[in-house]
């Protein structure tokens, strides 16, 4: 089974985390997720995180670290998602792909329509906010 490496950024601000809604026309449209995307062939997951956040949101993470990994098969892809905690970034968050964005409280977002891998992360984060 081939696993696709995916980078996802958990961007913090005042006790909230950034969530993006997958826009119409994309696979799994309508689901919420942490921003990021697939690593290109030969690209490290860290570089994919930086590239994807710049392309999608116009920000460049400057202080971040790998927190955890989750493997999840979505049918169309077997995703090995690397979740990074992002403490600082350069730029102003802008939805460059016309995606909806929201700052959410992890404990209150557990019932939101998140991708399954991201849902597991929300559950882990919610314990930190109880």
pLDDT tens for residues 35-61? 999 999 999 999 999 999 999 999 999
CATH code of residue 61: 3.90.79.10
Q: Are 56 and 48 a contacting pair, CB within 8 Å?
A: no
Q: State residue 110's pLDDT score.
A: 59
Q: Are 44 and 82 a contacting pair, CB within 8 Å?
A: no
pLDDT tens for residues 64-108? 999 999 998 888 889 999 999 999 999 999 988 888 999 988 777
User: The domain containing residue 50 runs over which residues?
Assistant: 4-128
Q: State residue 14's pLDDT score.
A: 87
Question: Where are the extended beta strands (E) located within 14-77?
Answer: 16-21, 32-33, 36-38, 60-73
Q: State residue 23's pLDDT score.
A: 83
State how far the Cα of 2 lies from the Cα of 122, in Å rounded to an integer.
Answer: 26
**How many structural domains compose the chain?**
1
* Residue 40 zone, left/alpha/beta (φ > 0; ψ -120 to 50; rest): beta
């Amino acid at each position: 089974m081939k696993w696709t490496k995916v980078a996802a950024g958990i961007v913090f601000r005042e006790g909230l985390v950034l969530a993006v809604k997958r826009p119409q026309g994309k696979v799994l449209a309508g689901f919420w997720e942490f921003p990021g995307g697939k690593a290109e062939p030969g690209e490290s997951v860290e570089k994919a995180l930086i590239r994807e956040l710049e392309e999608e949101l116009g920000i460049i993470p400057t202080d971040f670290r790998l927190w955890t990994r989750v493997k999840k098969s979505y049918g169309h892809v077997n995703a090995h998602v690397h979740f990074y905690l992002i403490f600082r970034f350069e730029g102003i968050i802008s939805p460059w792909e016309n995606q909806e964005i929201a700052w959410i409280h992890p404990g209150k977002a557990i019932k939101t329509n998140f991708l399954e891998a991201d849902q597991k992360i929300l559950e882990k984060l919610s314990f930190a906010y109880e």
